[in-house]
Structure 1
Amino acid sequence: MTALGFLYPGHSAEDDYPRIEQLLGSDIRLTLVHTDIGEDAHRVDALLEMGSQARLAAGVEELRLSGAEAVVWACTSGSFVYGWQGAHEQIRALARTAGLPASSTSFAFAHALGEIGARRVAVAATYPDDVAGLFVAFLKDAGVEVTGVRGAGVITAAEVATWGLDQILALAREADHPDASAVLLPDTALHTASHIPALEAALAKPVLTANQVTVWEALRLADRRVNAPQLGTLFTKEPIVQV
């Protein structure tokens, strides 16, 4: 049994995780601890507070007691908002507090892109444009070229959680670019676990979504590899061998 822990802000698309656990079809347990979201707003000051060390530390003991082998801060905007260096400091502090390997959804995207060999991407973000721009800056610091970004201007995670496949696909299509080798949907408040094959079929390229890459990152930290075609290219792609 591999036990993986996630700190998830508030309540929005957390039901993606039991769905992903089911699709993994293996001896893997995903445990979520909900952190205090504070103000539900895709606004820089609110996001900085959401990702503060105190809020993350509050959920760590419960994850330790669950037997988790690794922990991931399952929030993209609450990590990239700190910038490349600040996001590193955030997960270093989380790792020290938890006594476990740690990461965040922002770094999960960077590592997943390396896994599938995609260095030019399109970003389909539910966020306002200024917050989406911070994610683009984070990706650039990770060595990823962004061909274009489309922000939907949604302020709250609660609203994002109501989106269905049609809205998600429309945003992804607006963001997509012929030069992009993958499309990224960075919000963990977005329900995507059931939609990845449909999105990849419609766009004819890999699609990386926040909750998908978050689980993949936790597996990476635990040194586990699972083939799960219903979770898209990321879970079927052979790893890129660095020469």
Structure 2
Amino acid sequence: MTALGFLHPGHSADDDYPRIEQLLGSDIRVDLVRADSGEDVGRADASLRLGAPHRLAAGVEQLRLSGAEAIVWASTSGSFGYGWEGAHEQVRTLATAAGMPASSTSFAFVHAARELGAARVAVAATYPAEVAGPFAGFLRAGGLEVTAVHAAGATAEQAGAWGEAEVLALARAADASGAEALLLPDTALHTVACLPALERELGTPVLTANQVTVWEGLRLTARRVNAPGLGALFRREPIVQA
């Protein structure tokens, strides 16, 4: 049994995680602890407060007691908002506090794109433009070319209420014509149930926040799982190490 620990911001789309656990179809356990600020994490300033070390540390002990072997901060804006170096420091602090390998959703996107061999990516973000722009900058700092960015301007609460139709509309609104993968960065967005439909619709690999977050936990523990229902990322071998 491999136990993966996730610190999740709030409640939006947290039910994606037990769904992923089911789709993995192997001896993988997904443990989720919430780091809830009570704020709209679609705002840049709130995201920085949410990712503060004392907030993340609050959930670490619970995940350690659960037997987690790796921990991932499951917030995109709460990690890339610190910039490339600041996000590295964030996960170093988290790893030290947890006593185990650690990462975040923002780094998960970079590592997952590399795993797919996707050097050029497009972004379909629920965020406002002032949040989506720094995410694109983070990806560029990770060596990826960002071909297009679509910012829907939704709040985390709004995005959390979207169903498959709205997620597909968000993906279609992004110009992915010059990209090798499309990225949907919001962990508040339910995407796991519609990953196959997204990839059929777009004809390209799709990386979504909760999907890559769990993949990152597996990468940290050197686990390789074939789970076609979770998209192209989970149909490729091997998982590479950074």
**Alpha-carbon contact 1:38-1:50 (below 8 Å) kept:** no
Q: What residue is the counterpart of 1:230 in the other structure?
A: 229
Which secondary structure state, in structure 1, belongs to the residue aligned with residue 192 of structure 2?
A: coil
Report SS of the residue matched to 1:75.
coil
Provide the C-alpha distance between the structure 2 equivalents of 1:62 and 1:240, rounded to a whole number of angstroms. 27
Amino acid at match of 1:197: P
1:175 maps to: 174
- CA spacing shift, 1:36–1:130, aligned 2, 3 Å: same
Cα displacement (A) at 1:230: 0.3
Q: Give the deviation of 1:62 after TM superposition.
A: 0.2
- What is the CA–CA distance in structure 1 between the aligned matches of 2:165 and 2:4, rounded to whole Å? 31
The CA distance in 2 between the partners of 1:41 and 1:24, in whole Å, is: 28
In 1, Cα distance between equivalents of 2:198 and 2:177 = 16
Instruction: Name the counterpart of 1:202.
Output: 201
* Map of 1:20 onto structure 2: 20
In structure 1, C-alpha distance between the alignment counterparts of 2:116 and 2:74, rounded to whole Å? 21
Tell me what 1:213 maps to.
Answer: 212
Alpha carbons 2:219, 2:239 under 8 Å: kept:
no
Q: Helix, strand or coil: the match of 2:92?
A: helix
**Cα distance, 1:39 vs. partner?**
1.4
**Alpha-carbon distance in 2 for matches of 1:184, 1:130:** 17
- Kindly provide the amino acid, as one letter, of the partner of residue 219 in structure 1: L
Q: What count of residue pairs does the alignment treat as equivalent?
A: 241
Cα pair 1:60 1:98 within 8 Å, conserved = yes
**Runs of 4+, deviation exceeding 4 Å:** none
Percent of pairs with identical residues: 69
Paired AA for residue 18 in structure 1: P
- Report if the CA contact (8 A) 2:187-2:209 is conserved: yes
Do the aligned residues in 2 keep the contact of 1:185 with 1:210 (CA within 8 Å)?
yes
How many Å separate the matches in 2 of 1:214 and 1:117?
18
For residues 174-223 of structure 1, give each alpha carbon's deviation from its aligned partner in whole angstroms, at most 9, with x where no partner exists.
11332111100000000011110000000000000000000000000011
C-alpha distance after superposition, 1:80-116 (max 9, x if no partner): 0000000000000000000010000000000001100
Residues 6 and 73 in structure 1, CA contact (< 8 A), matched pair in contact too? yes
Residues in 2 aligned to 1:91 and 1:50: alpha-carbon distance in whole angstroms: 14
Measure, in 1, the Cα distance between the counterparts of 2:237 and 2:95. Answer: 28
CA contact (8 A) 2:185 2:208 kept: yes
Residues 92-146 of structure 1, C-alpha deviations (whole Å, 9 max, x = no match): 0000000010000000000001100001011000000010001000000001011
The normalised TM-score by structure 1 is 0.97
Output the CA distance in 2 between the equivalents of 1:167 and 1:176.
16
State the Cα deviation string for residues 10-35 of structure 1 (Å, max 9, x = none): 11100000000000000010000011
Instruction: Specify every segment of 5 or more residues in structure 2 that has no aligned partner in the other structure, as ranges.
Output: none
What does residue 115 of structure 1 align with?
A: 115
Corresponding residue SS for 2:95: helix
